[in-house]
Amino acid sequence: MIPEIPPALFWILGALLLPALPRLWRPAILVAAPALGLATIIALPEGAEITARFLDYELVFLKTDGLSRMFGIAFGLVGIAAAVYAWHVRDLRQQLGMLFYSGGGIGVVFAGDFFTLLIFWEIMAVASAVIVWTGGTKESGGAGYRYLMYHVVGGSVLLGGIVVHVFSSGSIDIVAFANEGAGLGAILILIGVLVNTGFPPLHSWLPDAYPRASIAGSVFLSAFTTKTAVYVLARCFPGWDLLFIGGVVMALYGVCYAMFSNDIRQILSYHIISQVGYMVAAIGIGGDFAINGASAYAYNHLFYKALLFMGAGAIIYTVGESRLTHLGGLARKMPWIVIFYLVGGASISGIPLFNGFVSKGMVTDAASAYLPAYYLLNLASVGTFLSVGVKLPYFAWFYRDRGLELKRPVPRMMVVAMGFLAFMCLLYGIAPQVQFTHLPFPVDYSAFQMGAIAKALQLQIFTFVVFWFFREQLLGPAKVVLDLDWFYRRPAGFYRTVFVDGVSAVFSGALRVTLFLTDIGIAIARNPVHFWRMSGERFDADRDRAPLGPNLALALLVAVVLSLLLIS
């Protein structure tokens, strides 16, 4: 019997063990840590808790229920697949970042109090920034710093909200906040969490950083940050109207920018925003069925989004190119990668018999009582199929051959990981009841209704026909798409001059003045008479002139001291 211990401990201990092991053993630990953690999650009984006293509060390192178990199982399965995909990686920084990052996500899911949640939240922020930096390019360095700044600010707002909530309620327990009459603490916590969901306008870190991370690291990034935020929203803010409206906006916003992006990982990054929008909207609707829909959507999204990033990473790994306008003609050179990617593309597009069809149907059915939102979500679904299901694979693999050669073969373990995730996408699409057993509330939902299947196929056939006739125009120019990050990229020179160079100049000047005064003080302390006798020679370039300046300064100093004594 597996003891009741916090599952995140396996990831953290694995990370701490890595530096002491030979390089060839580290990939095995990268896989073993999430495997042991997943076994622990599956074995944990409902309602298991581990607590400890800290000052006047009780920390809850482990608290299990249907919602946390479901997210934990999905994180564990995807963590194993991502570790297998990264088997060829020998960079210790990447491996440490991957384990600490995914361990932080697991810790958030099973945290029972806000303080424990915040600790793992910040572990995720730092470790994920490291993963971005390991991309190894100049762009990765800048994107990593911008990413970290966003999450430091978001974490600070989250901390402020937790402090306000604790002082107002006297408890650190994680609770569901009421939509009406929410206090300042709840609002700040919500803002801090929304940063991690990629909620516009707090989202530009995501399409900025994910395309610049390491190839294997981007697979991990696609899984944990946004979905842990979705978990916290489902736990703390079900039924909030703002989330319903904002989720619909997210679904459309991400699709629109994905259509104009040229980098394959940036396209997939914008689709994270769009897909998370469906989950956020369902959480905003509230109720058991909508929360089940959001949870199922997050569960399935973990599998197909990681699979899509794996396919994109395989292209970059083998040919060293990520721009659609520079790709094409690769299908025959990597057939299994194409097949597995297309499974992911069919899943995210909601094609019947793939897992995305089931969860997307649950969310849109939950939104059917709100017809404008219902139609907008279906419109976003059309854009998803157009950009990720058709445009990206067509121009990356099937478009005209540009003479690209594979610089190196795809590692076998990368293909194995993609095959596993493709199988999971098909399993949960063909037999959704397997997934339904993990959902937080009892499920009574029939996914394969003829009307739903016909509607989905009609939309997808129509979308494919439109793409085929306008495919040349849809490729777009070979340009970098700037989002709201324009506002801090464009004036970057001004910000650097004022807040970096200006501040550095002030501190440098203050340091020089301080050192100068320190030297004078030391000289006076050693021999005051000699100092004043020699000061003229030391500080006056013209040695023939009498040292009037130092003597006058000494006289003024004495006068000031005497005046202060007389006043007191």
Coil vs helix vs strand at 173:
strand
510 vs 213, more confident: 213
Is 250 a residue whose pLDDT tops 80? yes
pLDDT at 5: 86
Other Cβ atoms within 10 Å of 59 Cβ, number: 18
pLDDT over 50 (residue 542): no
pLDDT of residue 477: 65
Q: Are 217 and 97 in contact (CB under 8 A)?
A: yes
Give the three-state DSSP class for 263: strand
In tens, the pLDDT along 513-533 reads: 777 777 777 777 776 766 566
Kindly report the number of other CB atoms within 10 A of residue 252's CB atom: 18
In the three-class reduction of DSSP (H, G, I as helix; E, B as strand; rest coil), residue 178 is classed as coil
343 pLDDT above the threshold of 50: yes
Residue 369 has pLDDT above 60, yes or no: yes
Q: What is the mean pLDDT of residues 13-26?
A: 92
Task: Please compute the mean of the pLDDT values over residues 269-287 and round it to a whole number.
Answer: 95
**Among 68-72, 377-381, 442-446, the least confident range:** 442-446
Q: How far apart are CA 260 and CA 273, in angstroms?
A: 15
**pLDDT-based confidence at residue 475 (cuts at 50, 70, 90):** confident
In the numeric block, which tokens belong to residue 111? 């945290």
**Alpha-carbon distances, residue 139 vs 143, 263, 326 (angstroms):** 6, 14, 19
Burial of 160 by CB count in 10 Å (0-12 exposed, 13-18 middle, 19+ buried)?
A: middle
Question: Residue 531 — φ and ψ, nearest 5°?
Answer: -60, -50
Instruction: Supply the pLDDT for residue 473.
Output: 78
- Pairwise CA distance, residues 124 & 118, whole Å: 10
User: Mean pLDDT for the chain?
Assistant: 87
Backbone angles phi, psi at 540, to 5 degrees: -115, 125
Proportion of the chain above pLDDT 70, given as a percent? 86
**Model confidence pLDDT, tens digit, residues 185-225:** 999 999 999 999 999 888 889 999 999 999 999 999 999 99
> What secondary structure letter does DSSP report for 147?
H
What is the pLDDT, as a whole number, of residue 489?
62
**Burial zone of 412 (CB within 10 Å; 0-12 exposed, 13-18 middle, 19+ buried):** exposed
The helix/strand/coil state of 35 is helix
Residue 247 CA to its chain's centroid (Å): 17
> How far apart (Å, rounded) are the C-alpha atoms in residues 30 and 39?
15
Say if residue 13's pLDDT is above 60: yes
pLDDT value at position 479? 64
Which pLDDT band, with edges at 50, 70 and 90, does 341 fall under?
very high
Grouping H, G, I as helix, E, B as strand and the rest as coil, residue 25 is helix
Residue 539: the pLDDT is 46
Which pLDDT belongs to residue 57? 84
Report yes or no on whether pTM surpasses 0.95. Answer: no
Q: Quick check: 283 and 237 in contact, CB under 8 A?
A: yes
Of 393, 403, 364, nearest to 380 by C-alpha is: 364
Question: 548 pLDDT band (50/70/90 cuts)?
Answer: very low
Contacts of residue 460, defined as CB under 8 A and 6 or more positions apart, other chains included, come to 349, 350, 351, 385, 389
Q: Compare 122 and 491 and report the one with higher pLDDT.
A: 122
Cis check: omega of the bond before 477, within 30 degrees of 0:
no
The full DSSP string for 37-101 is HHHHHHHPPTT-EEEEEETTEEEEEEE--HHHHHHHHHHHHHHHHHHHHTTT---HHHHHHHHHH
